[in-house]
A = this chain, B = another copy of it.
Amino acid sequence: MSQSPKSPTPPTPATGPSPLTPPPPVPTSADVARLAGVSRATVSYVLNNAEAVRISEPTRLKVRRAAEELGYVPHAAARSLRAGHTRLVLLPTSHVPVGPLYSAFLNELQWALRRLDYTVVQYGSLGLTGDEAARAWAELRPVAVISLGEITLSAHNVATLKRAGARAVITMGPDGVPGAHALVMDQQEVGARAAAHLVERGRRRIGVVVPEEDGLELFSAPRLAGARSVAGADVETFPMAYTEESAAALAARWRRLGRDAAFAYNDEYAMLLMRALQDEGLAVPADVAVIGADDLLLGRLLRPRLSTVRLELPTGDHLAELVDRAVREPSELTRRHDLMTAVAVHREST
């Protein structure tokens, strides 16, 4: 411990909190062992409640007390390095304002997975390409990846993840990715239900309102495609930003567009548009029917009450169980699973 006179950061023992950030040592299981007067193995046994070996009660107590005193917390990285695998479930998110349904669903899912003893981690992946994202995720060696559609995964990306040890890669969306467990939460269904509802009520010339905002295409595109797929529906698309101005601009030219109905990406856009149309002097639903999607509570506050398409998401527990099964028996879940249904809710705006 001799101190060099030239060293700019002298390892001086006597100085208190040095200005030059002396990184305080993190207690390890070896420290606990030393303090408790036992071996590291014993510490491990005690702290992990190992059944295979019998440790005397006094020893257990000593170890526990030492760990407590040191504030010892095991090092997850070291543990999983040794174990050769993790219990990490990666949940890529892009934080698109995707609504309370989705939030509630994510919550449920996290809880359910945690109950199954997985560590759930959300990885913000906004703006990453599939390749970048797959690499970044793979570095963490997750046992499962649940990609809810914010990122489009290629077959190659899925392969990367699997090679990195992921036992289950679950994608949502209409198209199953080769190698992944496709979990069909088909947004097309939403558009199809909306358009069908409108057609049933005698509206055929449907204007589909598509968000101008980035990051929503993955939801809006299939919804649009679904609307297009409905027989008898004459669909035209209109981009609109999530602002009053954009809505007003679209409403101002609505009469000239010759559309007798509007299907907006979701209820928020629908509300915005409906208000703008009304301010423009058009009667809803007489002049133009308006339907949204997601069944937001706030949509019922406008007059007329907003018709919508409600999504029946799978329960978090259901999906969690599916994930767990896929992890334990990867070959099992290669087929597609349909989990989402959509149903049009008629209120007053259609």
A residues sitting closer than 8 Å to B (CB atoms) are 17, 19, 21, 23-24, 26-27, 70-71, 73-78, 80-81, 85-86, 93-97, 100, 103-104, 106-107, 110-111, 114, 119-124, 126-127, 135-136, 138-141, 159-160, 162-165, 242-244, 268, 271-272, 275, 297-298, 300-302, 328-331
Contacts and interface: CB of A to CB of B under 8 A. Distances in A.
Interface of A is mostly: mixed
B103 A73 contact: no
Contacts of A140: 76-77
A141 B77 contact: yes
A305 B273 CA distance: 16
A21 B76 contact: no
Contacts of A302: 301-302
A141 B81 contact: no
Contacts of A135: 73
Contacts of A19: 331
A53 to B, nearest CB: 23
Nearest to A73: B138
Given A77-B141, A78-B81, A244-B300, A164 B26 contact: yes
Nearest to A274: B301
B123 A107 contact: no
Contact of A26 (B165, B297, B329): B165
Contacts of A126: 107, 110-111
Contact of A272 (B21, B74, B122, B297): B297
15 contacts: A21-B328, A27-B163, A71-B159, A73-B135, A73-B163, A73-B164, A75-B139, A77-B77, A77-B80, A77-B140, A93-B122, A106-B124, A107-B126, A121-B122, A122-B123
A91 to B, nearest CB: 8
A135 B139 CA distance: 23
A349 B294 CA distance: 27
A103 B111 contact: no
Contacts of A163: 24, 26-27, 70-71, 73
A242 B297 contact: yes
A141 B75 contact: yes
A329 B21 contact: yes
A275 B301 contact: yes
Contact of A124 (B100, B110, B329): B110
A110 B125 CA distance: 9
A141 B26 contact: yes
A283 to B, nearest CB: 16
A189 to B, nearest CB: 24
